[in-house]
Amino acid sequence: MSVKWVLVFPLVLMFSGSSSPGKVLVWPIDFSHWLNMKVILHELIDRGHQVTVLVPSSFLGIDFSQPSQFHVEVISVPFSKEDAEALMQDFIRMWSYQRHELSFWRFSMNSFDLMTDMLQRSKIICDTVLLNETLLGKLESAHFDLVIADAAMPCGELVALKFNRPFIYSLRFTFGNTMERLCGGLPSPPSYVPATMGGFTDRMTFTQRMGNMFFYLSQDILFHHFLFKEFDNLFSEVLGSMVKNLTDEKSALVALALSQLPQKVIWRYKGKKPDTLGANTRLYDWIPQNDLLGHPKTKAFITHGGTNGIYEAIYHSIPLVGIPMFADQPDNIGHMKAKGMAVELNIHTMTAKDLVEAVNTVIHNATYKENAVRISQIHHDQPIKPLERAVFWIEFVMRHKSVKHLRVAAYDLTWYQYHNLDVIAFLVTCVALFVLIAVKCCAFCCWKCCSFRKKTKKE
Ligand SMILES: *[C@@H]1O[C@H](CO)[C@@H](O)[C@H](O)[C@H]1NC(C)=O
Ligand SMILES: *[C@@H]1O[C@H](CO)[C@@H](O)[C@H](O)[C@H]1NC(C)=O
Ligand SMILES: CC(=O)N[C@H]1CO[C@H](CO)[C@@H](O)[C@@H]1O
């Protein structure tokens, strides 16, 4: 893969002062990815750095008519914001509903088509940048110190390579952990590192481990040999907490369940108001989710399990009822369930009674709250705030230009060296040779003995 290196943030270092102001070029991804990226970029600006964001004209996260703190470089692409939104909604609908309605084969074909479609668009965006000499010249002459890219769609790394700039990825996960393993060289034995979207935790039974291994393998084949052909082995993944509406039937079910709770319920929901909505339930287009989770009277959080919501719930130690829909959501909820702070429901099979019981369980069975509090305490116990840590590493790369010394040594090993297969093969050969020689020697001795005895008998 043509990626120089990937920096992930696992180390704990003390914060060492500020950097001289630098110039940062950003290759973001839309939807929930942008929400997280934006927080870091604002902090960089507060610390005196210049931030240039390179976005396609179809990017929904930025309103181009409004003034922005960032320098926004818009790439004109032949599809609109509405097209981008529609494709995302198709993706969500497919993963959340069709997965259970279509046959496995049809679903696989549909997802393959949709992924191809998304990658094609990202290829167009990539070409629009890399084939525009005027734009490239302009970016080159800006002398950026660093490129920050979202790993969800390929191309940011190509831009960094083109200008020979140091480069940082921001990512939650990539399909089959492909980017983490193959670009970052992060050790991830399938025996205890579950492939994202496989739905496993780090404690796996024999069959789950087998499933996990096949999942890694199939993702490698799918992405390397099919989907990324056009990108010459670059890589992608898509997600977003974009679920605006459920089907009417599901929303009626959820509304009915919520109406049976003695508590007051605040529901972020954009679809048609369900007939079964109870007097205790209020619908809002948008809610200040983090603030509500931090409210002392909040008892439980019913969520589809997006990464941000999970972290907010952990931060405020609120137990969860998880109804995962797509992407990493089943994994996220699975992990929270394994840690004892969530009850998981299946959106396709759950009844109103299940939902009521799940909410009552996480509220009244004290173990869920206790676990949430314990996990929250662990989460809060960090030497520096995560935002400061992210900014520290960004400035670290700007100061030192290259951080190859942080690269995992596994990066330079072949797959058989990584698994020590050459050593094992050598040792097995030695043992086999030894056994063979021993057996041959014994056979030879026996034969000698016998023939000696035969001779003496004859005499
Ligand atoms: C190339 O980039 C420049 C500068 O951003 C822009 O004005 C121009 O329209 C672009 N050309 C094409 C063909 O996209
Ligand atoms: C509370 O939940 C835990 C974990 O699911 C379970 O083991 C325990 O029996 C429950 N306690 C009660 C009183 O239901
Ligand atoms: C506004 C909106 O996105 N409505 C959608 C809600 O979900 C149904 C079923 O998937 C769609 O048909 C609507 O278009």
Over residues 396-439, the pLDDT tens digits come to 999 998 888 888 888 888 889 988 999 999 999 999 999 999 99
Q: Ligand 3: which atom is nearest the Cα of residue 270?
A: 1
Q: Could you please state the CATH topology (level 3) that the domain comprising 245-380 is classified under.
A: Rossmann fold (3.40.50)
Q: How far, in Å, from the CA of 248 to the mean position of ligand 3?
A: 9
Does any ligand 2 atom lie closer than 6 A to the CB of residue 402? no
Rounded distance, CA 216 to CA 224, Å? 12
Domain ranges of the chain: 245-380, 421-458
Q: Residues near ligand 3 with C-beta < 6 Å?
A: 89, 93, 244-245, 247, 271
Q: Residues near ligand 1 with C-beta < 6 Å?
A: 76, 128, 132, 134-135, 138
Which ligand minimizes its atom distance to the CA of 73?
1
Average of per-residue pLDDT across 73-83: 93
Rounded distance, CA 203 to CA 201, Å? 5
Rounded distance, CA 350 to CA 369, Å? 23
Cα 330–chain centre separation: 12
Q: How far, in Å, from the CA of 367 to the mean position of ligand 2?
A: 7
Sheet with 146-150, side-by-side order of all strands? 71-75, 50-56, 23-27, 146-150, 167-170
Q: Ligand 1: which atom is nearest the Cα of residue 132?
A: 1
Q: How buried is residue 366: exposed, middle or buried, by Cβ count under 10 Å (0-12/13-18/19+)?
A: exposed
pLDDT-above-70 percentage for the chain: 90
Residue 120 has pLDDT above 70, yes or no: yes
Q: Whose CA is nearest to atom 5 of ligand 3?
A: 245
Res 18: pLDDT: 54
Res 175: pLDDT: 72
Q: How far, in Å, from the CA of 124 to the mean position of ligand 1?
A: 14
Which ligand minimizes its atom distance to the CA of 243?
3
DSSP 160-203: HHHHT--EEEE-S--GGGHIIIIIT-----TTTSPPTTS---SS
Instruction: Compute, in degrees rounded to 10, the torsion defined by CA atoms 211, 216, 221, 222.
Output: 90
Find, among 191, 286, 308, the residue nearest to 241 by Cα.
308
Q: Ligand 1: which atom is nearest the Cα of residue 133?
A: 1
Helix (H, G, I), strand (E, B) or coil at 52: strand
pLDDT tens sequence across 124-178: 998 899 889 999 999 999 999 999 999 888 888 888 888 888 889 988 887 778 7
The band of 71, judged by pLDDT with boundaries at 50, 70 and 90, is: very high
Which one of 363, 367, 368 would you pick to mutate in the ligand 2 pocket, going by the greatest count of ligand atoms within 8 A of its CB? 367
| Two structure tokens written together for 116 | 């191809």
- Select the more confidently predicted residue: 329 or 224: 329
Q: Ligand 1: which atom is nearest the Cα of residue 75?
A: 5
What does DSSP assign to residue 72? E
Residue 353 has pLDDT above 50, yes or no: yes
Residues counted in the chain: 459
Does any ligand 2 atom lie closer than 6 A to the CB of residue 367? yes
Mean pLDDT score across all residues of the chain: 85
Find, among 365, 375, 372, 380, the residue nearest to 319 by Cα.
372
Rounded distance, CA 196 to CA 57, Å? 31
Res 9: pLDDT: 37
Residue 383 has pLDDT above 90, yes or no: yes
Q: Ligand 3: which atom is nearest the Cα of residue 245?
A: 6
Q: Ligand 1: which atom is nearest the Cα of residue 138?
A: 4
